[in-house]
Amino acid sequence: MERHALCLDLGGTNLKGGIVSQKGELSKHRNLPAEVEQGPERILQNLIRMTDMLLKEAGKDSIPIEGIGVSTPGIIDTDFGGLTGGAVNLPGWQNTPFMKALYDEFHIPVFAHNDVTATALGEATYGAGVGRKHVVMASVGTGIGGGIIINGRLYEGATGYAGEIGHIVTFAGGHTCNCGVKGCWEEYAALRGILRTAQEHLDRDAKRESSIFSTLDQEGELTPRIVFDAAREGDHLALGIVDEIGRNTAVGLGSLINIFDPDMLIIGGGIAEAGDIYLNAIRTHIPSWSLPDSREGVEIVLAKLGSKAGIFGASALVFGDINRYMK
């Protein structure tokens, strides 16, 4: 009989759920508001509600559930049965024993991990990294998170916190990151850095001939989408911005290539939705920041699973018996 996992992906806005088979087939996909602003008790209520809903759906079709997989912001401690750190965007979610609560409610083993780490595991198992043994994923959005697969196994580090690649220092003494360190990679290659780079280019353009200016007059707020859309149309200023974004991103990716010597480097997250124009800008600058022998052996690609990557990653936790809670 084929194995199945009940999977939950907790984000700042939505709670996603579904049933995933070991073959990677997703069914019973559901979304609920996460309601994180209402505190940890409401988040936990929603996790239980989603789990109950999916278990009933699975029961109707006689689908046996092997475990409950959870992808969530934060640092997981299976002895505690929940989070002991991180999750700064989910007020109060730290020190919430949600794994214990789910197990006590449903008496099914619970497996959980950090959301970006789970996403990387999902991509390596069911997405862009299928068939590869050494995979590094960078998820680029508001910040930069990551996941590391070494010889087919998830690398977690001593405390389960491995993968905080956004805090590689790529510009020593540079802009101060939210973590307090000056010059972190994510302060240049993630959202804040991209918008800062774009604004600096706009401020230097006295002619104001770029289509970005007219779009800003209509939309009022600068976004990466405006820049990438203009670059696709051949806008000279936008192309210059995208080139610098590619350079700033390649600086960090080059270090990851040099350190881990992966056979695949996957770029995901909201910024990666820009697609090929973003990826090509990165590839242009990678040779300047990586060693030739390592660079020749790595394929740099965009993530494939999109918004469902966390759900698939949660299933990989169950099938891989990673971070099990059952007491």
Residue 152 lies in a domain: yes
Q: Which domain holds residue 37?
A: 4-121+308-325
Residue 126 lies in a domain: no
Tell me, yes or no, whether 195 and 209 share the same domain: yes
Q: For 190-229, what is each residue's pLDDT tens digit?
A: 999 999 999 999 999 988 999 999 999 899 999 999 999 9
Please name the helix (run of DSSP H) or strand (run of DSSP E) that holds residue 185, with its range, or none: none
Tell me, yes or no, whether 104 and 172 share the same domain: no
Say if residue 88's pLDDT is above 80: no
Residue 91 lies in a domain: yes
Distances (CA, A) of 324 to 108, 116, 244, 273, 279: 10, 18, 43, 33, 36
What's the average model confidence in pLDDT over 157-166? Answer: 87
The percentage of the chain sitting over the pLDDT mark of 90, rounded to a whole number, equals 88
Tell me, yes or no, whether 147 and 252 share the same domain: yes
**Distance between CA atoms of residues 294 and 99, nearest Å:** 40
Q: For 175-189, what is each residue's pLDDT tens digit?
A: 999 889 999 999 999
Contact status, residue 248 vs residue 193, Cβ threshold 8 Å: yes
Residue 39 lies in a domain: yes
Tell me, yes or no, whether 87 and 211 share the same domain: no
Residue 103 maps to which CATH number? 3.30.420.40
Identify the pLDDT of residue 85: 84
Q: For 35-71, what is each residue's pLDDT tens digit?
A: 999 999 999 999 999 999 999 999 999 999 999 999 9
Burial of residue 56 (CB within 10 Å: 0-12, 13-18, 19+) is exposed
How many structural domains are present in the chain? 2
Tell me, yes or no, whether 161 and 270 share the same domain: yes
Listed residue (223, 228, 221, 215) closest to 274, CA to CA: 228
Tell me, yes or no, whether 158 and 289 share the same domain: yes
What's the average model confidence in pLDDT over 12-37? Answer: 94
CB neighbours (10 Å) of residue 294? 16
**Distance between CA atoms of residues 216 and 236, nearest Å:** 16
Tell me, yes or no, whether 136 and 107 share the same domain: no
Tell me, yes or no, whether 36 and 144 share the same domain: no
Two tokens at 264? 């695949």
Please name the helix (run of DSSP H) or strand (run of DSSP E) that holds residue 139, with its range, or none: strand 135-140
- DSSP letter, residue 177: P
DSSP 3-state of 264: strand
The band of 22, judged by pLDDT with boundaries at 50, 70 and 90, is very high
Identify the pLDDT of residue 326: 85
Q: For 245-286, what is each residue's pLDDT tens digit?
A: 999 999 999 999 999 999 999 999 999 999 999 999 999 999
Cα 201-202-204 angle, rounded to 5 deg: 65
**Distance between CA atoms of residues 71 and 314, nearest Å:** 6
Two tokens at 96? 């919430």
Look up tokens 């909201």; give the residue: 270
Tell me, yes or no, whether 300 and 218 share the same domain: yes
Tell me, yes or no, whether 313 and 264 share the same domain: no
The interaxial angle of helices 276-285 and 236-260, nearest 10 deg, is 60
Tell me, yes or no, whether 37 and 158 share the same domain: no
**Distance between CA atoms of residues 156 and 258, nearest Å:** 19
Alpha carbon 107 to its chain centroid, in Å, reads: 29
Give alpha helix (H) positions in the chain: 40-60, 98-106, 115-126, 186-189, 191-204, 211-219, 224-232, 236-260, 276-285, 292-296, 309-319
Bridge partner list, 7: 18, 69
Contact status, residue 68 vs residue 110, Cβ threshold 8 Å: yes
| Residues ≥6 apart with Cβ < 8 Å to 274 | 224, 225, 228
Say if residue 80's pLDDT is above 80: yes
What's the average model confidence in pLDDT over 167-182? Answer: 94
**Distance between CA atoms of residues 62 and 7, nearest Å:** 17
Two tokens at 273? 């939705």
The percentage of the chain sitting over the pLDDT mark of 70, rounded to a whole number, equals 100
Identify the pLDDT of residue 91: 84
pTM, 2 dp: 0.91
Tell me, yes or no, whether 150 and 90 share the same domain: no
